[in-house]
Chain A
Amino acid sequence: MKKVMTGNEAVAQGVKLSRVQVISAYPITPQTTIVEELSEMCADGRLNAKFLKVESEHSAMASIIASCTAGVRSFTATSSQGLVLMHEMLHWAAGARLPVVMVNVNRALGSPWNIGNEQSDSLSQRDTGWIQLYCENNQEVVDTIPQAYRIAETVKLPVMVVLDAFVLSHTAEPTEIPDQERIDEFLPPFKGDFTLTGRRHQSFNPITSPDYYMEFRYKIQKAMDQAKEVARSVDEDYEGLFRRGYGIMEKYNWDGADTVLVTSGAVTSTSRFVADELAKEGKRVGLLKMKMFRPFPTEAIREVLGGTRKVAVLDRGLSFGQSGFFAQEIRSTFCNEDEQPRIFGFVAGLGGRDVTPEDIRQMISYTLENDRPRHDIIWIGLKQ
């Protein structure tokens, strides 16, 4: 069934299809309409789940850590300040190997106060042990949530599904709602390895001595490595059932291109448009959409970008004192390679500023015109 819906409604539909049993969330713009819709679903019985009202995002995450430990499929959603307030609990959820799924609606961080779209909130959580999947449109959002649960429950790591504030969250577009029966076929009920039952004495994640702590951390890294392949095959299964697949990354307009623009999230759609225009003008520029950011698909990046000459990376967020997140990660991928593309790191669209086709053209022009970047960060649209 196809319906016109916002990105946030698509999230709620994805959660409903995944038969989530516990939802715990604290409202924050631009995530609020997700939990509004979910609470209504819980209230009117469309979704058979317990909805917990909590006093903060920290408690939201803490409570789904508990419900997931009890073997119950659990969900939360947040954004920006809410996500960074959860930071401590994010590490805990990953360390406890709990397959919870959270949606983060990408929003800029204060100070100064800003509710616009930007990726710094989720990207700055890259070291917490969470798998991160970025969505380009509302259809991808609804399709990614059931996939996220399957990946999470397979590798026993939490998954963050990310969509752009307002551009997706509050923008409606026609979206196909997958058939529940086939989702049930795709996503079996959750069963944890160790489950808190209350019927016998158990304790989880007690203090662990230096004798074993390192091994548990090693296992997280191993699960992350495994997640790359798991995500790929889960997406293939999904495509088999629903005729829609996304991969962990996607090449577009690639034929014969030796210059490639790397994007993520909704700005990919704008980039597709620009790449098509340029193709008409005779300039061949490829596009690489990155859906998976954690685990970082190092091998796949080497493989697809290894043969190119120049790579322009569009970052909507940066690590102050270094450079854009994606640019850093792609550069490090090639550090030991004999053949390396030149990596051009662009930062644009912070705090909700639009990234226009002209901005993208400017990045591509810079990349085509310069043999190598003159700075680690090339700011686009900055009032200088």
Chain B
Amino acid sequence: MPRALDYTKESEMPSVPVSLGDMKWSKTGSWRYMRPNYEDKTPPCNQACPAGNDVVRFVMLVEEGKTKSGWLKIKEESPFPGVCGRVCFHPCETQCNRGQYDQPVSIHRLERFVADACAHSRSRNLDRWGDRSERVAIIGSGPAGLSCAYHLALLGYHPEVFEALPVPGGILRVGIPEYRLPEGVLNREISDLETLGVKIRTDTKVDKDFFDGGGQEYQAVFIATGAHESQRLGISGEDGPGVIPGLTFLREVRMIQKVRPGKRVAVVGGGNTALDAARSALRLKSQPVIIYRRSQDEMPAFAGEIEEAMEEGIEIEFLTQPVRVIRENGGVAGLECIRMNLGEVDETGRKRPVPIKGSNFTLDVDGILVAIGEAPDARLLPPDVELDWRSLTLQDVSRAESRGVFFGGDLVSPFRTVAHAIGSGKKGAISVDAFLRGDNPLEVLEMTRIGETGGVSMRKYIDTGYRTLSRHVVNFDELNTAYFKPLSKTDRKCLSASSRIRDFREVNRGLIRREARYEAERCFKCGTCNECENCYVFCPDVSILRNMRKLKHEINYDQCKGCGICFTECPRTAISMEEEQR
């Protein structure tokens, strides 16, 4: 404390007031009515990822040059970085705050970079959380089933996967063409999963008897048999040779190789399956024409796929609907179509197509691929569960049944994407584990949710410390963009349209190391402290303390006056201000 001064004459006083002692005794922190604290928040990309990836943290590791650690970070949440880095529709990029600044960070290409750079890494390096003896069966080896198996393996189980086809992978193997997802990438990630002790029984079809017979040995079952039942056109001449469901065609292309759909083939539909079928047909020397009853704006296929198909010169007849298959000698001789107009908005939020009377015309085709949607295979479902043409009417993608039967993937989800399937498999794994431990799976899933509406996080499930992370999703207006310089996105690199249509070589190229570091640097790291030290530099009260050993910062609340400069100058909203509780 200061010595009490008691001057009686001005002449005894110094020229200016000076203190030669320190001021540490003056705990100016007591003036504070707002309190800053370090609080990591949810970045919008993390919330947007249906697979529940921790995007920002893996990107930070890439930026630091720690690609292997970045790979392990992704692998905590998903077994398929190589797959997702290629085929995901990347809603993370749509939600990326950088999109409101210049262009979103190219997250999917960063994920692919990490996966390809760590092609020889193994998940065995990940922490395993216990050793469980309960037996879990997984039916279907698509992205949902394998994701469930993978996460269960990490949780210490030895799950067994049943697959009807002779090869594992489900839709990844037989639904996505190789030019989007090379065989080697899929094999690599599936074999990595097998090294964790996941057993995959191929050529093993499971039917309803399973639950009364061998299935009883399992304490829990996860069913993800997907949606493979192609919708029918419902027009005359549909039945017979030359009219093939799109998924069937894609499966044959992958498994039989030598398939010829016809010289000129009509592909009916506007979704990803239609695009994949048309582009595969083109590569098999057919001349495809896509027939879609609405306009390009309403196409459900991913925009990038449509763009690539158009680059390849694939014709698309918009506002067109088939009305009759013309047959000659049993084969397809043409497809009669009718032109459509867009009318009122329907229940799907899109404009309803209305036929234009008398606008009928004939397309000269000798093959037809039907890709107007797939329905789930309901055979393994309990009788009390209803099915509509899109999905099961289940509230959640996973449901706890008293006997421990859970559902996931396209079977139950209206979102037919790989990322959703992976996320749903993870939810299945968490549900199974919670169920076997006697917890309520739905409550556990809610606790492990990312942000307010996101997927679930394995890290949050196994590490309760992570559950306390703020669910607040950082929006663009909360960032201090003065600290970010405009940097445009790395250009997409791909094979030229003329060379890629000759075979099934992968169309898109990955990032090289330098580009990956650059893209990672573009990331704002929304809501995530990356030790940029702006707070340390700006604090006027020297109240940000550095802990060099732990590489972290702390706030000295004895001296912090709560001015909020650290909060304002934090570029990424990793500091919060709260009213002081008194």
Known: A212-B7, A218-B10. A203 touches B15 (CB 8 A): no
| Contact of B16 with A216 in the complex, beta carbons under 8 Å | yes
Would you give 26 A-B contacts (Cβ < 8 Å), ordered by A?
A193-B16, A194-B14, A200-B20, A201-B19, A201-B20, A201-B22, A201-B24, A202-B18, A202-B19, A202-B20, A203-B18, A203-B23, A204-B16, A204-B17, A204-B18, A205-B17, A206-B17, A206-B23, A212-B7, A215-B7, A215-B10, A215-B13, A216-B13, A216-B16, A216-B17, A219-B15
A205 to B18, CA, bound (A): 6
B21 at the interface (CB under 8 A from A): yes
- A-contacting residues, B272-299, CB 8 Å: none
> Number of residues in A with C-beta < 8 Å to the partner?
20
Binding site for A on B (CB under 8 A): 7, 10, 13-24
> Chain B residues with Cβ under 8 A from A200's Cβ?
20
> Chain A residues with Cβ under 8 A from B13's Cβ?
212, 215-216, 219
A208 to B16, CA, bound (A): 10
A219 to B12, CA, bound (A): 11
| Contact of B23 with A201 in the complex, beta carbons under 8 Å | yes
> Chain B residues with Cβ under 8 A from A203's Cβ?
18-19, 23
Closest to A215 in B: B10
| Contact of A205 with B20 in the complex, beta carbons under 8 Å | no
Binding site for B on A (CB under 8 A): 95-97, 156, 193-194, 200-206, 208, 212, 215-216, 218-219, 223
Closest to B15 in A: A97
A223 to B10, CA, bound (A): 13
A200 to B20, CA, bound (A): 8
> Chain A residues with Cβ under 8 A from B24's Cβ?
201
Chain A proximity of B205: nearest CB distance (Å): 75
> Chain A residues with Cβ under 8 A from B23's Cβ?
201, 203, 206
Partner of A193, one of B7, B10, B14, B19: B14
Closest to A98 in B: B16
Closest to B19 in A: A203
A194 to B19, CA, bound (A): 10
Partner of B16, one of A201, A205, A218: A205
A165 to B17, CA, bound (A): 38
Chain B proximity of A65: nearest CB distance (Å): 12
| Contact of A208 with B17 in the complex, beta carbons under 8 Å | yes
Closest to B22 in A: A201
> Chain B residues with Cβ under 8 A from A206's Cβ?
17, 19, 23
> Chain B residues with Cβ under 8 A from A97's Cβ?
15-16
> Chain B residues with Cβ under 8 A from A208's Cβ?
17
Chain B proximity of A69: nearest CB distance (Å): 9
| Contact of B15 with A156 in the complex, beta carbons under 8 Å | yes
Closest 5 CB pairs of A and B: A201-B22, A215-B10, A203-B19, A194-B18, A97-B15
| Contact of B10 with A219 in the complex, beta carbons under 8 Å | yes
> Chain A residues with Cβ under 8 A from B18's Cβ?
194, 202-205
Closest to B21 in A: A201
A194 to B18, CA, bound (A): 8
Closest to B12 in A: A215
A219 to B13, CA, bound (A): 9
Closest to B24 in A: A201
> Chain A residues with Cβ under 8 A from B19's Cβ?
201-204, 206
Extra pairs beyond A201-B21, A205-B16 (9, CB < 8 Å): A193-B16, A194-B18, A206-B23, A212-B7, A212-B13, A212-B17, A215-B7, A216-B13, A219-B13
> Chain B residues with Cβ under 8 A from A205's Cβ?
16-18
A216 to B11, CA, bound (A): 10
Chain B proximity of A339: nearest CB distance (Å): 35
Chain A proximity of B292: nearest CB distance (Å): 59
Greatest chain A CB density within 10 A among B10, B13, B15 is at B15
> Chain A residues with Cβ under 8 A from B20's Cβ?
200-202
Closest to A196 in B: B18
Chain A proximity of B231: nearest CB distance (Å): 67
Closest to B17 in A: A208
Known: A201-B23, A203-B23. A96 touches B16 (CB 8 A): yes
> Chain B residues with Cβ under 8 A from A216's Cβ?
13, 15-17
A219 to B22, CA, bound (A): 26
| Contact of B17 with A193 in the complex, beta carbons under 8 Å | no
Chain A proximity of B25: nearest CB distance (Å): 11
Chain A proximity of B540: nearest CB distance (Å): 13
Chain B proximity of A97: nearest CB distance (Å): 5
A37 to B363, CA, bound (A): 84
> Chain A residues with Cβ under 8 A from B7's Cβ?
212, 215
Chain B proximity of A151: nearest CB distance (Å): 15
> Chain A residues with Cβ under 8 A from B14's Cβ?
193-194
> Chain A residues with Cβ under 8 A from B22's Cβ?
201
A96 to B16, CA, bound (A): 6
Chain A proximity of B532: nearest CB distance (Å): 22
A203 to B16, CA, bound (A): 11
Closest to A213 in B: B17
> Chain A residues with Cβ under 8 A from B21's Cβ?
201
> Chain A residues with Cβ under 8 A from B17's Cβ?
204-206, 208, 212, 216
A203 to B13, CA, bound (A): 16
A63 to B553, CA, bound (A): 29
Closest to B20 in A: A202
A207 to B7, CA, bound (A): 16
Greatest chain A CB density within 10 A among B16, B17, B22, B23 is at B16
A43 to B17, CA, bound (A): 37
Chain A proximity of B31: nearest CB distance (Å): 13
Chain A proximity of B96: nearest CB distance (Å): 33
Chain A proximity of B19: nearest CB distance (Å): 4
> Chain A residues with Cβ under 8 A from B16's Cβ?
95-97, 193-194, 204-205, 216
Chain A proximity of B109: nearest CB distance (Å): 40
Chain A proximity of B24: nearest CB distance (Å): 8
Chain B proximity of A31: nearest CB distance (Å): 29
